[in-house]
């Protein structure tokens, strides 16, 4: 090679330069994302109560329709609370309580960290004026680095009590997949709902945000739940016409 003259750049060199630039951009984006404490993230997510109706009887909603609304709330809370990711976020010490309030709905949420050891245990409650209340416990498992992408178990036991004596209990068995570079977390998995009118629903939250499921009563399918996590889920009645309680 003659001195003073640049050597010809090979395609492999250009590819290496492009890869380094791309990785640098992704790393910079990951560093710039503000990690939110899981307890505070949950407290904020619990305030997204638009899907929960007030005065169910006055609006003529059937129990299975109320169950679908509660399923929407359950899914939306899980998506919102996990959206910033958990990897690297500072967890609260056991005994610390956090709260949040909504200026429009008047909803107030509290989240207490019960344990911050191998499994993080969060106990929460939400009071929603003219709508009802939510109570539950979230158990978040340790990060499984042996899985690609890394995952955590994220299980909730939640009870929603609405006006007009409607109560539904829900249990999730979600896995939250961590995107280390984008600081994003996406939960997916099954959930079971049971209300005090004899209805049982089984739904599944897919990785792409699609939700599907069925509502049964007395071993008969009375409706099918479908939709996306970003919007209100809908109930499609089956051929069996449910009767009002």
Report whether pLDDT(131) > 90: yes
Which tokens go with 173? 């068995």
**Contact call for residues 75 and 206 (beta carbons, < 8 A):** no
The rounded distance, in Å, linking the Cα atoms of 7 and 139 is 58
Q: What is the pLDDT of residue 10?
A: 60
Cis peptide bond N-terminal to 206, omega within 30: no
Model pTM score: 0.81
Q: How confident is the model at residue 57 (pLDDT cuts 50, 70, 90)?
A: confident
The pLDDT of residue 173: 96
Confidence of residue 97 (pLDDT cuts 50, 70, 90): very high
Q: Is the dihedral of CA 209, 42, 124, 47 positive or negative?
A: negative
- In a 10 Å sphere around its CB, with 0-12 CB exposed, 13-18 middle and 19+ buried, how is residue 93 labelled? exposed
pLDDT score of 20: 47
Which positions ≥6 away from 192 have C-beta within 8 Å? Answer: 170, 171, 200, 201, 202
Architecture of the CATH domain 35-237 = Beta Barrel (2.40)
Running DSSP on this structure, what letter comes out for residue 40? H
Averaged pLDDT score across all residues of the chain: 82
Cα 110 vs. chain centroid, distance in angstroms? 17
Share above pLDDT 90 across residues of the chain, in percent, rounded to a whole number: 52
pLDDT attached to residue 8: 57
* CA–CA gap between residue 183 and residue 25 (Å, rounded): 14
């Amino acid at each position: 090679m003659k001195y003073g003259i640049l050597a010809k750049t090979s395609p492999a060199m250009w590819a290496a330069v492009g890869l380094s630039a791309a990785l640098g951009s992704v790393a910079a984006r990951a560093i710039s994302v503000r990690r939110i404490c899981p307890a505070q993230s949950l407290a904020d997510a619990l305030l997204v109560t638009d899907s929960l109706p007030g005065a169910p009887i006055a609006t003529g909603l059937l129990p299975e329709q109320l169950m679908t609304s509660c399923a929407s709330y359950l899914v939306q809370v899980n998506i919102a609370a996990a959206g910033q990711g958990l990897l690297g976020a500072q967890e609260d010490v056991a005994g610390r309580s956090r709260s949040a309030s909504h200026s429009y709905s008047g909803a107030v949420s509290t989240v207490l960290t019960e344990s911050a050891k191998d499994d993080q245990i969060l106990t929460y409650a939400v009071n929603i004026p003219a709508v009802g209340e939510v109570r539950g416990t979230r158990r978040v498992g340790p990060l499984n680095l042996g899985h690609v992408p890394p995952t955590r178990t994220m299980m909730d036991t939640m009870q929603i009590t609405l006006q007009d004596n409607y109560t539904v209990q829900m249990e999730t068995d979600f896995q939250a997949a961590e995107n280390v570079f984008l600081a994003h977390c996406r939960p997916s998995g099954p959930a079971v709902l049971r209300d005090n009118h004899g209805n049982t629903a089984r739904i599944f939250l897919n990785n792409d945000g699609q939700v599907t499921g069925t509502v049964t009563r007395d071993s008969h399918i009375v409706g099918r739940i479908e939709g996306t996590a970003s919007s209100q889920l809908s109930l499609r009645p089956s051929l069996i016409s449910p009767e009002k309680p």
